[in-house]
Amino acid sequence: MSTTSHTSRTRRVILVVVAALWVTVAIPAQTIRIGSAAPENSPWGRSLNQLAAEWQRISDGRVRVQVFHNSIAGDEADMVRKLRIGQLQAVVMTNTGLAALSDKVMTLSMPLLIRSEAEYNHVFERTRRSIEEQIEGQGFRVLSWSMAGWVYPFSARPVRTPDDLRATVIAASPEEQAIVRAYQLLGYQSVAIPLTERLASLANNMANAYLTVPILAAGFQWFGATPNMLDLQIAPAPGAIIMSERAYRQLPAAIRDELLSAAARLADGLTDAVRELERSAIDTMVAYGLTVNEPTAQERRLWERELEASYDVMVGTVFDAELYRIIRDLLDAYRRNN
């Protein structure tokens, strides 16, 4: 056997081994585990499943998304803990859950401060970066923002005025500490109940009222125990997908922007879907026994006076004072021109 022939075969073997190692080692699959409190059969659940399929397609299988719907990974506080230690790589969070990462975000949901979708969009686009920077300082990235809808009061008996609501016991999630403090400062009774236990607690009369978006009231079937809704938009409810900085940096750099664009695109579609589904959820609940109570003009003024008077107490204690002043200035200017 010639030396040249032996050398040639040796080189071919080495090249085959190197190629096999490159295929095995150079392109590992990255698994992104996302936790969500929302049911899978909800706008958020369907959107997350679409995100998983999109990222799988964009990455040719290098990024795989596993979604834990319906609080399987715990409530929002549990999921944030798992996010910090790497058991989850991303979490879908409501405004109340986000408050653990940014004390500014709940200011967007101050009662009756922002009163329309147009006002919300105007304010949010001018304040979002300051909120995102605060979240980034905690070691997380915002992949996308969306709207969960508008918060309304639901109750076992009709609630038309603030005094009616004071006569109830309001269920709030354990992570909603800012909201609980706000209730207490305004003289309302509140009890902390996890979302997964709320239906049973309402049925057992541990609480008989809550404030939430209609899609959740319908999706979790809470309205069966609280068949009254006051037709008064209390506050917008923004939400976001949050990813740990470590997982974010591990996304393949060459396709990271495309992955993020897909997440933002799906979030935009989700916001549009939520707008339509909110009304559909109310109609469905009405068909199954919900009564929607329309406040009179006088009752609306009672709510507005009550909640506006509370700002002096809540700003700086429950809600961020600096962001409140910015939002107030933005709203004043917007309302003068519109």
Q: What is the pLDDT of residues 247-298, one digit of tens each?
A: 999 999 999 999 999 999 988 888 778 888 899 999 999 999 999 999 999 9
Q: Is the pTM of this model over 0.75?
A: yes
CA dihedral (238, 243, 249, 254) positive or negative: negative
CA nearest to 38, candidates 94, 81, 115: 94
Q: Is 167 exposed, middle or buried (0-12, 13-18, 19+ CB in 10 A)?
A: middle
Please give the Cα distance from 169 to 153 (Å, whole number): 12
- Number of structural domains the chain divides into: 1
Domain containing residue 244: CATH number:
3.40.190.170
Quick one: pLDDT at residue 9? 55
CA nearest to 35, candidates 75, 62, 4: 75
Quick one: pLDDT at residue 79? 93
Quick one: pLDDT at residue 7? 52
Q: What is the pLDDT of residues 67-111, one digit of tens each?
A: 999 889 988 889 999 999 999 999 999 888 888 888 899 899 999
Range(s) of the domain holding residue 268: 3-337
Please give the Cα distance from 278 to 226 (Å, whole number): 17
Write phi, then psi, for 313 (nearest 5 degrees): -80, -40
Token pair recorded at residue 180:
């609980």
CA nearest to 46, candidates 267, 240, 223: 267
Quick one: pLDDT at residue 23? 42
Quick one: pLDDT at residue 22? 40
In this prediction, the residues of the chain whose per-residue pLDDT falls under 70 are: 1-28, 178
